[in-house]
Amino acid sequence: MRRGYLGLALMPLIASAATAPASEFTDTVRPVLEQNCAMCHNPGKPRNPANFLKAQTAKDIESDRRLWHNVAAQLRNRTMPPVASKLTEEDRLRIATWIENDLRATACSGGSYAGATPFRRLNRREYHNTIRDLLGVDFDVSLIFPADGTGGSGFDTNGETLFVPQVLMERYLSAAQQILDRVIITPPVQRAFVPGKVAAGAEYAMPVPAYIDADYTVVAAQEGADTPAKLVLKVDGVAAGELNARARTGPVTRLSALSKSILAKNLMRIQVRLTRGDHVLSIGPAGDGDATVTNVTVDQTPETPSPEKRALHYRLLGSEPGEQPLQSRKAARQVLASFLPRAFRRPVTAEEIDRFLALFDRSALRGDPYPESIKLALRGVLVWPDFLFRIEKRDPAPGVHPLGQYELATRLSYFLWSTVPDAGSRGVARAGGSYARRSAFAGVRWQFRGTVAGHAGFGRPRGAAADRIAVVLYARGRV
Q: Is the pLDDT of residue 475 over 80?
A: no
198 strand-pairing partners: 291
Would you call 292 helix, strand, or coil by DSSP?
strand
Q: Is the pLDDT of residue 10 over 80?
A: no
Phi then psi for residue 272, to 5 deg, are -130, 155
Identify the pLDDT of residue 443: 58
Identify the pLDDT of residue 447: 55
76 contacts: CB under 8 Å, gap ≥ 6: 92, 93, 96
Instruction: Give the residue with greater pLDDT, 445 vs 146.
Output: 146
Identify the pLDDT of residue 365: 94
Chain center to CA of 220: 43
Phi then psi for residue 42, to 5 deg, are -65, 125
| Contact present, 156 and 286 (Cβ < 8 Å) | no
Q: Is the pLDDT of residue 187 over 80?
A: yes
- Other Cβ atoms less than 10 A from the Cβ of 86: the count is 9
Identify the pLDDT of residue 377: 97
Identify the pLDDT of residue 341: 95
Q: Is the pLDDT of residue 461 over 70?
A: no
Identify the pLDDT of residue 458: 44
Write the pLDDT tens digit of every residue in 383-437.
999 999 999 888 877 777 788 888 888 988 998 889 999 888 888 778 775 545 5
- Other Cβ atoms less than 10 A from the Cβ of 328: the count is 15
Percent of residues in the chain assigned helix, strand, coil, to nearest 5: 50, 15, 40
pLDDT band at 21 (very low <50, low <70, confident <90, very high): low
Phi then psi for residue 81, to 5 deg, are -70, 175
DSSP 299: E
Identify the pLDDT of residue 137: 94
Instruction: Give the residue with greater pLDDT, 466 vs 244.
Output: 244
The top-scoring range by mean pLDDT among 100-114, 123-137, 147-161 is: 123-137
Instruction: Give the residue with greater pLDDT, 452 vs 208.
Output: 208
Average pLDDT over residues 238-249: 69
Lowest mean pLDDT among 50-54, 83-87, 140-144, 456-460: 456-460
| Contact present, 283 and 206 (Cβ < 8 Å) | yes
Using CA atoms of 27, 28, 32, 33 in order, give the dihedral in degrees to the nearest 10.
-80
Would you call 3 helix, strand, or coil by DSSP?
helix
Q: What are the C-alpha distances in Å from 338 to residues 134, 304, 383?
A: 11, 28, 17
Identify the pLDDT of residue 112: 67
CA dist 163 and 148 (Å) reads: 9
420 contacts: CB under 8 Å, gap ≥ 6: 130, 133, 134, 342, 343, 345, 410, 413
What pTM does this model have? Answer: 0.70
Would you call 30 helix, strand, or coil by DSSP?
helix
Average pLDDT over residues 20-25: 71
Average pLDDT over residues 69-76: 89
Identify the pLDDT of residue 115: 67
Identify the pLDDT of residue 5: 43
CA dist 161 and 156 (Å) reads: 8
Identify the pLDDT of residue 265: 47
- Other Cβ atoms less than 10 A from the Cβ of 441: the count is 18
Mean model confidence pLDDT for the chain? 80
Instruction: Give the residue with greater pLDDT, 442 vs 408.
Output: 408
Instruction: Give the residue with greater pLDDT, 3 vs 219.
Output: 219
40 contacts: CB under 8 Å, gap ≥ 6: 48, 49, 81
Instruction: Give the residue with greater pLDDT, 338 vs 455.
Output: 338
CA dist 421 and 1 (Å) reads: 53
Instruction: Give the residue with greater pLDDT, 467 vs 54.
Output: 54
* DSSP secondary structure letters along 37-104: HHHHH-TT-TT-S--GGG--SGGGGGGGHHHHHHHHHHHHHT-SS-TTS---HHHHHHHHHHHHHHHH
Q: Is the pLDDT of residue 444 over 50?
A: yes
Identify the pLDDT of residue 134: 95
Instruction: Give the residue with greater pLDDT, 183 vs 258.
Output: 183
Q: Is the pLDDT of residue 227 over 90?
A: no
Q: Provide, rounded to the nearest whole percent, the portion of the chain with pLDDT above 90.
A: 38
User: Which strand (E) or helix (H) includes residue 7?
Assistant: helix 2-18
Identify the pLDDT of residue 264: 45
Identify the pLDDT of residue 30: 87
Q: Is the pLDDT of residue 55 over 80?
A: yes
Identify the pLDDT of residue 455: 43
Identify the pLDDT of residue 260: 45
Q: Where are the CATH 2.60.120.260 domain residues in the chain?
A: 191-300
Identify the pLDDT of residue 298: 93
Write the pLDDT tens digit of every residue in 299-331.
999 889 999 999 999 999 999 998 989 999 999
CA dist 7 and 95 (Å) reads: 28
Write the pLDDT tens digit of every residue in 31-45.
888 888 877 887 777
Domain boundaries 191-300, corresponding CATH code: 2.60.120.260
Identify the pLDDT of residue 351: 96
* DSSP secondary structure letters along 435-451: HHHHHHHHHHHHHHHTH
Would you call 465 helix, strand, or coil by DSSP?
helix
Return the ∠ at Cα 155 (arms to 149 and 158), rounded to 5°: 70
Q: Is the pLDDT of residue 68 over 60?
A: yes
